[in-house]
A and B are shown apart, each in its own frame.
Chain A
Amino acid sequence: MTGTTWGLVASISVASIVEFVEALTIVLAMGVTRGWRSALAGVAAAIVALAVFTFAAGYALKTWMPESLMQLVVGTLLLIFGLQWLRKAVLRSSKLKALHDEQEEFAAQTAAARQAAANSRFGIDTFAFVVSFKGVFLEGVEIVFIVITFGLSADNMPAAIGGAVVSGLLVLVVGLILHKPLAMVPENTLKYGVGLLLASFGAYWSVEGLGVFIADGESLHWPGDDWAILGLLAAWAVVSQVLVRTLPGIKNKRRETVTG
C-alpha cells in the first residue's frame, strides 16, 4: 500500500472509531437495562437498513447523479457534520462546554431506559429496539458518507471500506471484552482531528459542486487542484485555534456587559 492509501485508511479508521464508540454506548445501555434480545434486534434492523441505504445511495451516485451535483450534496453534508464536530471541539477546548464522557452518556441512557414504560411487540421491547436502531443507523449513515467521500476522492473505495470495517471490528471486540463503554478513547481529540478533515474535504467538494448550476455543469476549479485541500486544512486549523483562545474572552465580556 502507498502512503496515500495508508493515510486514507487511517483517516477513515479514526473517524469511524468515534462513530462506532457512540453507537456501542447506546446499544450497551439498552442491552444492560432492557434486555439484549431487543437491543440486538434493533442493531440487526439498523444494519439491514444501512445496507439498503448504502446500495441506494451508491447506485444513485454511480448511475444518474452528475459528478458536480454529487460533490455538492455529499460535500455539503460532510461540511455540516465536520463543522458540528469542530464547533463542539472548539467549545470544549475553550472550556465553554463540558467534555464528552462516554460514562456519563452511558449513565444518561441507562437512566432514560429504566424510566421508559415497558411496551412490547412480537416479544421485542419497543424502546430498546427503537433506541438501538436509531443509534446504530444514525452513526452508520455518517460512516457511509465519510467512506464514500474519502474513497471517491482518493479513488480507492476498497481501502476506504476496509478502514471502516477494521474500526468496527476493533470497537466491537474491545466492547465485548470490556463489556462497558469505551471511555478511554480520547473522543474529543479524535473529533477535533476528524472535524478538521471533514470540514476541509467538505468545503472543497461543496464549492466545486456549485458548478452544477453553471451553464456547462462543470465543477468549479480550486487553484492548485487537490493541493487546495491542504490549504483548507491549514486554514480550518488556524481559525479553530484562534477561536479556542478568543471565545472565552468574548463570553466573559458579554457576561460583564449583562451583569454590569
Chain B
Amino acid sequence: MSYLKGFGRFWYDFIIGDDWKIAAAVVLALAITLVVTLTGLAPSSVGAVVGGTLLLVSFVISLVVDVRK
C-alpha cells in the first residue's frame, strides 16, 4: 500500500508539481478551446488563437489567485 502511495505521489509531483492550479488552468483552457472548435463556433485557425489566448489568461488568473491568498 505504501509502495502504491509512493508511486502515486511520484507521478503527482512530476505532473502537477508545486501548484495544482497551473495544471487545472491548462486543462480548463484546452477543454474550452475544444468546445469552441467542436461546436464550430470558430474555424480551426481561429480556434488555435483562442486556445493560446485562453492559456495566457488562465495562467495570469492562477498566479493572481496564488498571490491574493
Q: Judge whether A247 and B64 touch: CB under 8 Å.
A: yes
Q: Chain A contacts of B30 at CB under 8 A?
A: 76, 206-207, 210
Q: Judge whether A87 and B63 touch: CB under 8 Å.
A: yes
Q: Judge whether B15 and A134 touch: CB under 8 Å.
A: no
Given contacts A76-B30, A87-B19, contact A250 B51 (CB under 8 A): no
9 nearest A-B pairs in the assembled complex, by CB-CB distance: A207-B51, A84-B17, A222-B48, A223-B45, A83-B22, A220-B44, A254-B68, A220-B48, A251-B67
The contact of A207 among B14, B25, B52, B64, by CB within 8 Å, is: B52
Q: Chain B contacts of A208 at CB under 8 A?
A: 48
Q: Chain B contacts of A88 at CB under 8 A?
A: 18
Q: Judge whether B23 and A80 touch: CB under 8 Å.
A: yes
Q: Chain B contacts of A207 at CB under 8 A?
A: 30, 33, 47-48, 51-52, 55
Interface residues of B, Cβ cutoff 8 Å to A: 10, 13-19, 22-23, 25-27, 30, 33-34, 37-38, 44-45, 47-49, 51-52, 55-56, 59-60, 62-64, 66-68
Q: List 16 A-B contacts (CB under 8 A).
A: A77-B15, A80-B23, A84-B17, A87-B59, A91-B63, A91-B67, A138-B13, A138-B14, A206-B30, A207-B33, A211-B44, A221-B44, A222-B52, A223-B45, A228-B52, A239-B60
Bound: A206/B32 CA distance, A: 13
- The size of the chain A interface, using a CB distance under 8 A, is 41
Bound: A102/B1 CA distance, A: 33
Q: Chain B contacts of A236 at CB under 8 A?
A: 56
A113, CB-defined interface residue at 8 Å: no
Measured CB to CB, the closest approach of chain A to B67, in angstroms, equals 5
Bound: A77/B13 CA distance, A: 13
Q: Judge whether B14 and A141 touch: CB under 8 Å.
A: yes
Bound: A96/B33 CA distance, A: 32
Q: Which of A84, A96, A232 has most chain B Cβ within 10 Å? A: A84
Bound: A214/B52 CA distance, A: 18
Q: Judge whether B13 and A235 touch: CB under 8 Å.
A: no
Given contacts A220-B47, A222-B45, A223-B48, contact A96 B67 (CB under 8 A): yes
Bound: A83/B22 CA distance, A: 7
Q: Judge whether A134 and B48 touch: CB under 8 Å.
A: no
